[in-house]
Amino acid sequence: MGNNNITLKHVSKQFGKTYAVKDLNLEIPANSFTSLLGPSGCGKTTTLRMIAGLETPTEGEIWIGDRMVFSAKEGIDVPANQRGIGFLFQNYALWPHMTVYQNIAFGLETMKWKKQDIKGRVEEMCALLQLTEYIDRYPGELSGGQQQRVAIARTLATNPAILLMDEPLSNLDAKLRLDMRSELKRLHTSTKATFVYVTHDQMEAMALSTDVCLMKMAVLQQYDAPLTLYGRPANKFVANFVGNPAINFIDFDVRKEDRQTILERDGHRFSARLDDGATLSGARVTVGIRPESLLVKADGALRGTVVSAFPYGMETTVLIQCMGSELRSVVFGSIDFRPGQEIGLSLADTGLCFFDPETEALIGTGDMQPI
């Protein structure tokens, strides 16, 4: 199928004086599953609609493979129906007066496929999406999850090289969302199409994607593999947005002593070590500690007091008063803690993130140990 990579060069979209998307450069690899992630109003849906040809950028270029489909400068704007793209919306927009079969066949009929070929393709799609027994039913006789699968089948039937999806699972209940996630992953593997997926749910983006493009206020913050976003966030916004429970941020004063970097706070002193030769040059630093990096240990050098605990069965999230701050820790196993309980804590020896308190940019990753 090749040629289904997508390139955005300096793409902006303004509504009046407001930027919905600002100077976005994005290289979406062929056959990838790329999520556009961010809080509402960050520009992710506008980006998707510009790729689809449903929204006209104010400036920039959009390429699909080696074909330019939009250029503000050259006045090129290939219509949506000629971009070879499938689009899946939040509301399924099925034809209520047509059966499942007719809904899926509709696009193929407009493409003038032969009746026999249409029948084969619709049956193939129904088998793929476990809809065979519902083929003669109408949308009104189906559950939300089944309707969503029909919408996916209809979009995939025309064999698009690129599939754009705008929060397609947000109307489904929690269990069904999980089922549909694995369904989408399976479809991505079996169709070899490029999937571009808009969501505000970071867990969904992390679980599904090969690449995540995280946006804030019309501007790209970081574009990386999910685990890179989690382990090496470009700035505090990314660190805070990705991960559940959320990361802990604590400010420390920085001192240099005997070629060592010492961090101080609230009577506590730590020796800090950064990976890859990064150094702390400012007088203060913000340290990001993931909840799983704050370990509850009876013999831990740090002491804390339990504020509250949330047992979920497989793990417990504990809110702890420590170093003059409320910190979150994740403890694996079915353990409960009582408020007011004194506990020992220690820090994992890798995976802490050090941020510049002024710019909020990542300085580097590393570890710190009490001294």
pLDDT in tens, the chain (371 residues): 458 999 999 999 999 999 999 999 999 999 999 999 999 889 999 999 999 999 999 999 999 999 999 999 999 999 998 998 998 877 667 899 999 999 999 989 988 899 999 999 999 989 888 899 999 999 999 988 888 889 988 988 888 889 999 998 877 778 878 888 888 888 898 888 999 999 999 999 999 999 999 999 999 999 999 999 999 999 999 999 999 999 999 999 999 988 889 999 989 999 999 998 888 988 999 999 999 999 999 999 999 999 999 998 889 999 999 999 999 999 998 788 999 999 999 999 889 999 999 999 999 999 999 99
What CATH class does 246-370 carry? Answer: mainly beta
Q: Determine the residue type at 314.
A: M
Same fold, 6-240 and 246-370: no
How far is CA 121 from each of CA 114, 125, 192, 276, rounded to the nearest angstrom?
A: 11, 6, 17, 53
Fold for the domain defined by 6-240: Rossmann fold (3.40.50)
Q: What is the pLDDT of residue 152?
A: 87
Nearest to 151 by CA among 129, 134, 172, 132: 129
C-alpha span between 145 and 149 (Å, rounded):
6
| pTM, entire model | 0.88
Report the alpha-carbon distance of residue 350 to residue 274 in Å, rounded.
9
| Beta bridge partners of residue 365, listed in sequence order | 353
DSSP symbols for 117-131: HHHHHHHHHHHHTT-
The per-residue pLDDT for 1 is 43
Written as six digits, the tokens of 252 are 């420390």
pLDDT given for residue 2 in this prediction? 52
Q: Which pLDDT does position 92 carry in this prediction?
A: 67
For 235, phi and psi rounded to 5 degrees? -155, 180
Give the separation between CA 163 and CA 338, rounded to whole angstroms: 49
Q: Give the residue extent of every domain in the chain.
A: 6-240, 246-370
Helix (H) or strand (E) holding 49: helix 44-52
162-166: strand order across its sheet: 85-88, 162-166, 194-199, 33-37, 211-216, 219-224
Q: How far apart are CA 303 and CA 343, in angstroms?
A: 6
| Residue-level pLDDT at 276 | 86
The tokens describing 350, both together, are 């890798």
- Nearest 5°: the CA angle 343, 349, 351 is 105
Secondary structure element (H or E) that encloses residue 91, with its range:
none
Residue found by looking up tokens 């429970």 in the block: 245
pLDDT at 344: 95
